[in-house]
Amino acid sequence: DSAAAALDAARAAQAEGAPFDLALVDQNLPEEDGQNCVAALGRLSGGALPRLLLVPAFNAGRRYEPPGADRNTRVLSKPVWRASLHNAIVEALGLDRALIPVRGARDQDEPADMRSMAGAHILLAEDNEINQEVASNLLEALGMRVTLAKDGAEA
């Protein structure tokens, strides 16, 4: 729902000694944009938390760097396909996994090593209920633990 919710969830996870491995944040959050949320999550983690910012498709094919971006901020263009999500997670977490060629990959089965990311704790900040369900189901099917923030504030 909001950037505040995303930040609250991140603070709570840190306080419990189980910080998120990755934050996946939609740029179009209500009340505050995802860019500010991503920047705030970066400050909260001292820059350590890898962050993926989902941006509308009109940014595809262009080098897009959100204001305040650092080495742990990456951009993922919508619509998000299995291959592009896999590659973004592998790169963001610095995993030693093969990347999937994106062209035509949406019709391919997931690679065997995708399951090796099972157990990763993912913070998903997304205001759209359908997108929440789709992304959560996809990540959970891969064995990842998903904490949903309805907005950047909740994250």
pLDDT in tens, 7-56: 999 999 999 999 998 888 888 877 777 888 888 888 888 888 877 777 66
> Rounded distance, CA 73 to CA 45, Å?
12
CATH among 3.40.50, 3.30.420, 1.10.20, 1.10.3470 for 3-154: 3.40.50
Domain ranges of the chain: 3-154
Statement: the pTM of the whole predicted model exceeds 0.75:
no
Residues 6 or more apart whose CB falls under 8 angstroms from that of 22 comprise 49, 50, 51, 52, 89, 92, 93, 120, 121, 122, 123
Q: Give the count of beta carbons closer than 10 Å to the beta carbon of residue 66.
A: 19
Helix (H, G, I), strand (E, B) or coil at 89: helix
> Rounded distance, CA 69 to CA 52, Å?
10
